[in-house]
Amino acid sequence: MAINAKGTMLVLRAVEAAMAKQKPRMHQSPRHGTWRSRGRDSIVVLRSINGTMVAPGMFSYVASKYAVIGIVKTASIDNVKNHIRVNNVAPAYTETAMWKRV
């Protein structure tokens, strides 16, 4: 929990604060020549597929990854006012030597 959930939350808060101070990116419409804000870019949190599915014997790990989903969803809502998008991606398993031992 300390690394997966709390670590994600602390890093996310630090990045949000830095990005909120940045000037929004502007975009000029090629069709109309008008300028509009494109926001301040995105924050993408990398999490595990175990945040959406369970695995036997991985209670703490799965719980911490479920927590990351909630943290990212809340950060996404909190940052609408700052024009910062917050999302997460969950890669599936990768066949490695470690995975073969499991």
In tens, the pLDDT along 54-98 reads 878 888 888 998 999 999 999 999 999 988 999 999 988 778 887
Helix axes 8-20, 59-78, angle to 10 degrees: 20
- pLDDT of the residue at 78: 95
Helix (H) or strand (E) holding 88: strand 85-89
65 is a catalytic site residue: yes
Catalytic residue among 6, 21, 23, 65: 65
93 is a catalytic site residue: no
pLDDT at 31 over 90: no
